[in-house]
Amino acid sequence: MLPDVVFFGSGAFGLPVLRMLAEAGRVALVVSQPDRVAGRGKQITPTPVSEFALGHGLPLIRPEDCNSQTDSELIRTAAAAAVDRAARDGRAQPGVVFVVIAFGQKMSPELLSDVFSINLHGSLLPRWRGAAPIQRALMEGDPVAGVSVIALAERMDAGVVYAEEPLAIGPSQTSGELHDALSELGPDVVASVLHMWRRGDINARAQDESRATRARKLSKADAWVDLSMDAYHVRARINGLNPWPGCAVEIDGAPMQIRRCEVAAAVAAPTDSAAGTGTPPGASTLTPDGILTCGTGAVRILEVQAAGGRILPFTAWAHGARIIAPVQVTSAAPTAEL
């Protein structure tokens, strides 16, 4: 039987775990970020976790700072009440667990004192500590991603590891798709740690600090690709930038985003004769069937998005744009934040 839990989370990555705990009747309290203005309509919008809690009748608080005296007392009171209920129901348990997933607030040592607290992180630690582990794993061409259940620590994502689960990255998988696939690993791996803790036989391993890498948060300034890289890394970066911030290029002078691609089988480089002049430095050549040359090899473009348009299969866009001969493609880092 699972122990009772105070769940701290905001982003959609934690929803499968929260759903599992709610269905087991083990959620003492949900703590999420306050509602924020979001979307083009500038509407006040709850976090995905808050929305789930409200829709399923779970007790919820949305503090600006979970470490404040008022909110930390609410959290402690909910935890104590859950222990009392467990005792009345004949469910002996050593306490209430804090489960933290994509919460967005730093939790103080005082709040965490004397509480078993775990975090589900979207990488195989110590690789990719930080804000964007899933995107960075894809963008750097990692063949395998995964999730880790760790102890909360003073330094970001540096706690001991209780469990992990790897997942191979698909040849045309985007970071959005990988995010969703990794989140679905959460319930089983978190439940396994909770069961071990309740039995008193939990194991932990320290992270190898020499192997730690930093997953820097993405910005609009990342929305480009160096087409002089080999095809494997061009594909990795383009797919890793999907859904946000996207990969901006110009195709035959028109602004465009490449949304998805895959490494192409070995193909002969297209000629530049149809383009009139040779391909200039920093440019690549794109054929009507979506083959884009790289520094080494080529990728096949699968999906594109014109400015203000919707995502289209490349073949549909090329037909509508009447791409009938090889054209030039360029991409460059912006000189300033867009």
pLDDT by 10-residue block (mean), the chain, 338 residues: 96 98 97 90 93 98 97 95 89 90 96 96 98 97 98 95 98 98 98 96 96 97 96 97 97 96 71 42 87 96 95 96 95 72
CB 119 within 8 A of CB 100: yes
Measured between alpha carbons, how far is 79 from 180 in angstroms, rounded to an integer? 30
Report pLDDT for 200.
92
Q: 257 is written with which tokens? A: 């985003």
Phi, psi (5° rounding) for residue 284? -125, 170
Q: Alpha-carbon distance 288 to 266, whole Å?
A: 17
Output the CA–CA distances (angstroms, integers) from residue 195 to 19, 170, 278, in the order listed.
17, 31, 64
Burial track 151-171 (b if 16+ CB lie within 10 A, e otherwise)? ebeeeebbbebbbbbebebee
Please tell me the pTM assigned to this model: 0.93
SS3 205: strand
Sort 69 into a burial class: Cβ within 10 Å, 0-12 / 13-18 / 19+: exposed
Residue 292 contacts residue 285 (beta carbons within 8 Å)? yes
pLDDT of residue 39: 74
The ranges assigned to domains in the chain are 5-215, 220-330
Which residue's structure tokens are 């890498």? 213
Please state which of the four CATH numbers 3.40.50.170, 3.60.10.10, 3.40.50.1220, 1.10.1040.10 is assigned to the domain occupying 5-215: 3.40.50.170
Between CA 263 and CA 244 the distance in angstroms is: 21
Residues 6+ apart with CB under 8 A from 44: 35, 36, 37
| Angle in degrees, CA 322, 324, 328, rounded to 5 | 95
CATH superfamily to which 220-330 belongs:
Formyl transferase, C-terminal domain (3.10.25.10)
Cα 140 to Cα 168, 172, 232: the distances in Å are 14, 14, 10
Give the integer Cα–Cα distance in Å for 40 and 253: 28
- What pLDDT score does 42 carry? 82
**149 pairs with which residues across the strands?**
120, 163
- For 251, the enclosing helix (H) or strand (E) is strand 247-251
Distance CA 338, CA 326 (A): 30
Contact between 277 and 327 under an 8 Å Cβ cutoff? The reply is no
Q: Give the span between the Cα atoms of 238 and 240, in whole angstroms.
A: 5
Which residues, in sequence order, are bridge partners of residue 44?
A: 37
pLDDT, position 272: 40
Q: Helix axis angle, 186-199 relative to 15-23, nearest 10°?
A: 50
